[in-house]
Amino acid sequence: MEHCTTTHHAAINAKHKEKHNANATETCFLCSKKMSPKAKDNAWHVHLTTNYELASVDMGDVLESNDQGWFPVGSECAKRVPLTHRMKFSD
């Protein structure tokens, strides 16, 4: 399987920003703890499948029919998720 390219990451980042209002209050997907705006802007994200499994970040477009999207994860919970299964969306 091919690894994600910078273009692929940019496309994911654009889709993510469209789905989330910059002023919205986010919670950690794993523990439901509220995240501050600063923490939200720098949060790790996990990609969830319709089988409620975390997808590897290099899955790319393979997940189109099995995709629930990217969800923010707080810094403490992110430590429990392998690097291969989390990603940061930054400007």
Condensed to tens digits (0 to 9), the pLDDT of residues 29-85 reads: 999 999 988 888 889 999 888 888 888 888 765 666 778 888 999 999 999 999 999
Condensed to tens digits (0 to 9), the pLDDT of residues 3-37 reads: 444 455 555 555 555 555 454 568 999 999 999 88
Q: How many secondary structure helices (H) and strands (E) does the chain include?
A: 3, 6
**CA-closest candidate to residue 5, choices 69, 54, 57:** 57
CA distance 89 to 87: 7
The CA-based angle 6-56-81, given to 5 degrees, is 110
